[in-house]
Amino acid sequence: MASILIVDDDIGIRLTLQEVLISAGYETVAFITAEEALKYLQQYDPDLVLLDLNLPGMHGFNFLEIIQQMDNPPPVVIITSSTDAPSAVKAMKLGALDYITKPFNLDEILLIVKRIIANRSKDEQLAYLRKKNQHPDYDRIIGNSSAMQAVFKFIKQVAQTPKTTVLIRGETGTGKELVARAIHFQSERGNKPFIDINCSAFQETLLEAELFGYEPGAFTDAKRRKKGLLELAHEGTFFLDEIGDMAIGLQAKILKVIEKQTFRRLGGIQEIHVDTRIISATSRNLEEGIYHRTFREDLFYRLNVASIILPPLRDREGDVLLLADHFLNVYNNEFKKNIRGFTPEVKRLLMTHHWPGNVRELRNAIEKAVLFETGDFITPAHFKLTSFEPERNILSHPTSFVIPPEGIAIMDVEKALLENALLATHGNQTKAAQLLKISRETLKYRLRKFRINYHEIKARPVE
Ligand SMILES: Nc1ncnc2c1ncn2[C@@H]1O[C@H](COP(=O)(O)OP(=O)(O)OP(=O)(O)O)[C@@H](O)[C@H]1O
Ligand SMILES: [Mg+2]
């Protein structure tokens, strides 16, 4: 809800303005003097100031000058008598946006106020985008595989239902954020803001303050009112990245926002209405979070209305070379180079690599190769892939291993783990056992049990 500060020493005017503005849905606060209004401005950030010039104490002109020196000055509209045109002109020179003359026409006031406030919220959203260094355009999603066709179809479908909550799952680097943006920009909310926040990047109280905003005095450092990101996402899309990392206490509050479409700033009493589509993403296994009581089951069902698991790159047949060409183009342009393609050896590497970091890993590898390659083609000398990164999802973050909806045989997982560990260590059993944190004897026993031939694995070409 937008807030308007009124400064006028005439009680009749203050009351009339407040009445008409409040009934039009604005929040108002009124003062008699500029001195009082300044004190208020040190703590709050109104969306508009309506200012009378002839005030007891500090004159409106001086007040206007002080406002203009503030960091993010609110727009000011002057209230002036119809006989005092020169003052209005001077006030505009000092930075006032507009003026209204007494006696007022209430419709005219509302029109001016509405127009200025609409621009102001656009400015705030733009400032946010600039700060985040985001381009309002979204990147193209590349992919021809049937796995990706299903993703495109999903995007198209949910784009058409702009209120549906969406959950995007998938390993790191599979394009979750890209898909979230695509849904937003293809929906009717596309020309409204896309606001994102990474839940794993903030500790609980900070994340809460970012999401909901706060009133002055809500906590020690809260000197001024700050709007929450949720407010900025009004009519647009709110992307909660890494939702699996959100503290359980905050989960209850987000649940309430989804259910009631309202929230309160920290330290605030007023319910703020927000109409936004929530898209969340996670590379963690939320079901496991529910089991361990680190993730609320009721929130899970609320988020999971429409959901998709993005396929890992290794399961997108044909897409690796397509993406490789795409990124070659991108980085040729960026580095002003003219590399024409990949040597057959590099193509083989591209097609056999396991891509634990998915599209991001591919993009980074090609960026580096383009930067350092001096010839016409990308050669193995400059195309470096880490021969193995332990399956992050399984080995180093057991809780983020995603169980597919159709279920999975635990024996198959164990067998895959053993094989991967041997692959990673080129068949070295001692090292493989260390990776799996079991003894060499246990490893040997299990290799026999699963009839895994480590000589064969040892002989496989190194990726
Ligand atoms: N299909 C695709 N086509 C083109 N670029 C892609 C595609 N998928 C991902 N990318 C690029 O790969 C990088 C990683 O994508 P993104 O950040 O969306 O992944 P993510 O799933 O959110 O990863 P994380 O879980 O690590 O946050 C980005 O630079 C993105 O532009
Ligand atoms: Mg991401």
What residue's CA is closest to ligand 1, atom 30? Answer: 175
Average pLDDT over residues 442-446: 85
Is residue 61's pLDDT more than 70? yes
Helix segments in 10-105, DSSP class H? 11-23, 34-41, 60-68, 85-93
Same fold, 3-131 and 147-309: yes
Superfamily of domain 147-309: P-loop containing nucleotide triphosphate hydrolases (3.40.50.300)
* 3-class DSSP assignment, residue 397: coil
Q: Which helix (H) or strand (E) holds 282?
A: strand 277-282
Please indicate whether residue 363, judged by its CB atom, sits closer than 6 Å to ligand 1.
yes
Position 430: which residue type? Answer: T
| Residue 198 alpha carbon, nearest atom of ligand 1 | 27
Write the pLDDT tens digit of every residue in 136-175: 444 689 999 999 999 999 999 999 999 999 999 999 999 9
By DSSP bridging, strand 306-309 and strand 262-263 are unpaired
Mutate which of 166, 169, 177 for ligand 1 pocket (most atoms within 8 A of beta carbon)? 177
Q: Is the CB of 143 under 6 A from ligand 1?
A: yes
* pLDDT score, position 391: 45
Better-scored residue on pLDDT, 251 or 102:
251
pLDDT for residue 306 is more than 60: yes
Q: Give the residue, by CA position, lying nearest to ligand 1 atom 8.
A: 175
The token pair that represents 432 in the structure block: 């493989």
Residue nearest to atom 13 of ligand 1 (CA): 360
Arch. (CATH architecture) of 314-378: Orthogonal Bundle (1.10)
330 Cβ closer than 6 Å to some ligand 1 atom: no
Tens of pLDDT, residues 280-294: 999 988 988 898 899
Atom of ligand 1 nearest to the CA of 175: 18
- For the cut 80, the answer to whether the pLDDT of residue 444 exceeds it is yes
Residue 163: other Cβ atoms inside 10 A: 12
CA of 63 to the centre of ligand 2 (A): 46
Evaluate whether 169 touches 310 at the Cβ level (below 8 Å): yes
Domain ranges, ordered by start, for the chain: 3-131, 147-309, 314-378, 409-459
Banded model confidence at residue 453, pLDDT cuts 50, 70, 90: confident
Q: Give the position of tokens 């010039």.
A: 53
Neighbours of ion ligand 2 (CB under 5 A): 176-177
131 has a pLDDT exceeding 80 = no
Which fold, 3-131? Answer: Rossmann fold (3.40.50)
Ligand 1 touching residue 175 (CB < 6 A): yes
Whether pLDDT at 120 is above 90: no
- Nearest Cα to Cα of residue 443 among 459, 458, 427: 427
Q: What average pLDDT does the structure give for the chain?
A: 87
Query: Using a 6 Å cutoff on CB, does residue 125 contact ligand 1?
Result: no
Is the distance from the beta carbon of residue 139 to the nearest atom of ligand 1 less than 6 Å? Answer: yes
Task: Tell me, in angstroms, the distance from the centre of ligand 1 to residue 360's CA.
Answer: 6
pLDDT at position 406 is 75
| pTM recorded for the entire structure | 0.69
